[in-house]
Amino acid sequence: MNNQPNTSEPLDKDLVARVQRGDKSAYDVLVIKYQHKIIQLVNRYIKDPSEAQDVAQEAFIKAYRALGNFRGDSAFYTWLYRIAINTAKNYLLSRSRRHSDYQVDIQDAEQLENAAQLKGMDTPEHLLMSDDIVEVIETAIEKLPEEMRTAIMLREFDGMSYEEIAQAMECPVGTVRSRIFRAREAIDKKLIPLLDER
């Protein structure tokens, strides 16, 4: 799903090298390339679109300032995601918020497998139920511990690999797998009773 950044990784490395040599216009290209993804990512933490844009811009500024130290141990966009996540978390901490707010557009086949028969049915009852399912999943994700929520969001909404998530979250791949597994279990626990009662 998210193969685009991998195919353009050599281009990113070239652009990063140009920025490190003082070519500011090369950074503009990276910003244009990734601004939409970074804003989407930050929007999952910060509901207010103008605040999210400010935080995304701050993440790009932080990345620019730190680019001299970027050694290329991970893909540029993975490194940038990590900076954006940390910037969003710091913003929320500074506002003393305990839970992140985000809009979720769920099309997760694994989570909705049990409700597959509902797809394509346009009756009001079925449309209402699919709204209920989305609401249950959104609430379940919102209540996950921060590390599990971040891991499942990066996997399911951004299509990042376990290895990329491990780099972005600075933890072992096994930890990422465990967090995603437990997040899916927690979501299923909330979803299955709703499906059973229908």
Check: CB of residue 57 under 8 Å from CB of residue 71: no
Residue 140 has pLDDT above 60, yes or no: yes
- Summarised one tens digit per residue, pLDDT across range 46-64 is 878 888 888 999 999 999 9
Going from the C-alpha of 61 to that of each of 28, 30, 76, the distances in angstroms are 11, 12, 15
Q: Token match 């979803």: residue?
A: 191
The tokens describing 156, both together, are 């399911």
Output DSSP code: residue 8: T
Question: Using 50, 70 and 90 to split pLDDT, how confident is the model at 195?
Answer: low
Q: Which of 49-58, 124-133, 188-197 has the highest mean pLDDT?
A: 49-58
Q: Please give the model's pTM, rounded to 2 decimal places.
A: 0.54
Q: What domains can you pick out in the chain, each with its CATH number?
A: 4-94 (1.10.1740.10), 113-197 (1.10.10.10)
Across the chain, mean pLDDT equals 76
Check: CB of residue 144 under 8 Å from CB of residue 180: no
Q: Token match 């626990």: residue?
A: 189
Q: What is the pLDDT of residue 17?
A: 92
Q: What is the pLDDT of residue 2?
A: 44
Check: CB of residue 168 under 8 Å from CB of residue 81: yes
Phi, psi of 103 (to 5 degrees): -95, 135
Check: CB of residue 74 under 8 Å from CB of residue 167: yes
Check: CB of residue 180 under 8 Å from CB of residue 188: no
Q: How far, in Å, CA of 88 to CA of 72, rounded?
A: 23
For residue 165, count other CB atoms closer than 10 A to its CB: 25
Q: 64 burial class (0-12, 13-18, 19+ CB within 10 angstroms)?
A: middle
